[in-house]
Amino acid sequence: MTPHFSLAELTASSTAKRLKLDNTPMPAALENLRQTAEMLERVRAHLGGKPIIVTSGYRGREVNQAVGGATSSDHMSGQAADVVPAVGAAYDMAKALAPHIDALGIGQLIYEASGNSRWVHLSTRKPAKPVNRVITIHVGKGTYLGVQKI
Ligand SMILES: [Zn+2]
């Protein structure tokens, strides 16, 4: 899709593989994914060109359901990707990106934590409420404004 982000990387899903679910995006989602990949290129460049890993990009309805994603998840429309830095902490990545969301074309940034996992959810779509553009979600525990250390 772009120099550092392939369609394969943005549609890969271990859950889809395990459950034998088709995770091929429809044309509209494909176009959204291209814009997501372009946003990720800007993010990568902003972080000094260091590699970032996409842990979850596009998720078809069935795949999204299987992973317990939100029913209105931006992953289903190809407008979001969960990423982690190849080296370093997701928290530091979220902190470095948060002040620059407009310039980077990030509609919403969510620093997420579940158990010992930490990742950054980046969407090209702005949430309905501007206050939700940069938030922290500790799965099962709470949602907080801004990027909070958890
Ligand atoms: Zn996500």
For residue 60, being part of any structural domain is answered with yes
Nearest to 12 by CA among 63, 85, 66: 63
Number of C-beta neighbours around residue 80 at 10 A = 27
Nearest to 77 by CA among 113, 43, 42, 34: 34
What pLDDT, on the 0 to 100 scale, is given for residue 27?
A: 94
Give me ligand 1 centre to Cα 110, in Å.
8
CATH number of the CATH domain containing 57 = 3.30.1380.10
What pLDDT, on the 0 to 100 scale, is given for residue 84?
A: 98
pLDDT, tens only, 104-137: 999 999 999 999 999 999 999 999 999 999 999 9
Chain centre to alpha carbon of residue 146:
16
pLDDT, tens only, 5-34: 999 999 999 999 999 999 999 999 999 999
For residue 150, being part of any structural domain is answered with no
Helix, strand, coil share (%) of the chain residues, nearest 5: 40, 25, 35
Give me ligand 1 centre to Cα 43, in Å.
16
Give me ligand 1 centre to Cα 76, in Å.
10
Give me ligand 1 centre to Cα 78, in Å.
11
For residue 2, being part of any structural domain is answered with no
- Residue given tokens 């940034």 in the structure block: 109
Total structural domains in the chain?
A: 1
Domain range spanning residue 132? 7-145
For residue 16, being part of any structural domain is answered with yes
For residue 36, being part of any structural domain is answered with yes
For residue 103, being part of any structural domain is answered with yes
For residue 1, being part of any structural domain is answered with no
CA distance 85 to 88: 6
Share of the chain above pLDDT 90, in %: 97
pLDDT, tens only, 76-88: 999 999 999 999 9
Q: What is the mean pLDDT of the chain?
A: 96
